[in-house]
Amino acid sequence: MTALPRTRLGRMLTHAFASGLFVVFLGACSLPGVAVSQSEFRAGEPPYLERPEVQAFIDEQVEQGIDRAFLEQLFHDVEPQQRILDLISRPAEARPWKDYRPIFVNDLRIQRGRVFMHEQAEWLERAEETFGVDRALIAAIIGVETNYGRNLGSFRVLDALVTLGFDYPPRQAFFRSELGHFLQLVQEESLDLRETLGSYAGAMGRGQFISSSYRAYAVDFNGDGRRDLINSWPDAIGSVANYFRKHHWQTGEPVVARARVDGDAHEALLGGGYQARFSLDELAAHGVYPAEAVPADGLFSLIRLEGHDGFEFYLGYPNFYVITRYNRSPLYAMAVHQLTEALRP
């Protein structure tokens, strides 16, 4: 048995280690029939404690007050997950829009969303009034993320964050940071370190918050003294609404407008993110024109999605960019938008 940590955080983590407790972003792991390519990276090779980068991470966490012996035992007992590396190598967002959309915008998901909105009407209304965020948007986010609480993830958050933080070089800095946030979150919200489950990317709860977002944006919406995104619908609803308020969602404002494109010059406007930054004149100079009425002085992003009959083009308003702050994929943002529209009364 390792020595007991001396700090309050250390004591909390030791308790979690002894009793067993864990959650993360669902993506392809929750989708039946998704073909997953094998990752070029290998999980847990060599063993974590033999790696200098793991020892450096442990040193950093010791400076934050966590017991070294506890952390070493933690990395000794972590279960590397090769499936996580395989899943992140081909997320659902790698599909074309024509295949991605039916997963999240379909009759069953819409029906479940309407039932959810009826069952949680009081809390959705309160969240809309408190945070100024459309109740249909809140419901759509939860619908896309977890199918209204049906798919919370099956990976231990600890295993996911360690695997990605030390075996997935493309985003290892991000996931190591999230691992540090998760260790702090365990203390702050009394999560079970060994049993909290989530997505393959370390997101957790009914709205699938990563650890840093949980710490920054989760709210105790039902006033019971805890920010519980795993078991509490009020907290999950209020926290999604608070996230969108903090990222400047503009209630009542549009999200996208249809566009038409002439030629290939529009390709120069793709790939730079989805902040609304192009004027109509700039778009026109690249052969992009609105296909419906839009503000003459507005700023937009350009969205290109692969539909059944070729590319579909849209102009993105600032609200589209806000949705991409929750998940940066334009497919995700469009699915959320279309599900939101389908759920409106």
9 has pLDDT over 70:
no
Q: Which backbone phi and psi does 204 adopt, to 5 degrees?
A: -140, 160
Q: Give the pLDDT band (50/70/90) at residue 29.
A: very low
Query: What are 230's two structure tokens?
Result: 């795993």
Q: Is residue 199 within 8 Å of 207, Cβ to Cβ?
A: no
pLDDT at 25: 38
Catalytic sites, residue numbers: 145
CATH 1.10.8.350 domain extents, the chain = 8-92+151-218
Do residues 280 and 271 touch, judged by C-beta distance below 8 A?
A: no
pLDDT for position 90: 79
Q: How many CB atoms lie within 10 A of CB 72?
A: 16
SS3 category, 296: coil
pLDDT tens-digit map of 161-216: 999 999 999 999 999 999 999 999 998 999 999 899 999 999 999 999 999 999 99
40 burial (CB, 10 Å; 0-12 / 13-18 / 19+) is exposed
* Residue pair 66/9 in contact by the 8 Å Cβ criterion: yes
CB half-sphere exposure, 325, CA atoms < 13 A: 17
Position 37 confidence tier, pLDDT thresholds 50, 70, 90? low
Q: Does residue 51 sit in helix, strand or coil?
A: coil
- Asked if residue 22 lies in contact with residue 192, where contact means CB atoms within 8 angstroms, the answer is yes
Residue 46 has pLDDT above 50, yes or no: yes
pTM beyond 0.85, yes or no? yes
Q: Who wins on pLDDT, 175 or 20?
A: 175
Q: Report the mean per-residue pLDDT for the chain.
A: 89
- How many residues are there in the chain? 345
* pLDDT tens per residue across span 55-86: 999 999 999 999 999 999 999 999 999 999 99
How far is Cα 201 from Cα 132, in angstroms, rounded to an integer? 29
CA distances from 278 to 51, 250, 297, 321 (A): 46, 19, 10, 13
End-to-end CA distance of the chain: 57
Domain 8-92+151-218 class, CATH top level = mainly alpha
CA-angle at 262, arms to 257 and 267, nearest 5°: 80
Q: How far apart are CA 156 and CA 167, in angstroms?
A: 16
C-alpha–C-alpha distance, residues 100 and 289, integer Å: 26
Please tell me the predicted confidence (pLDDT) of residue 23.
Answer: 32
Name the phi and psi angles at 288, rounded to 5: -115, 130
Alpha-carbon distance 257 to 292, whole Å? 7
Residues facing 54 on adjacent strands: none
Contact 142, 127 (CB under 8 A): no
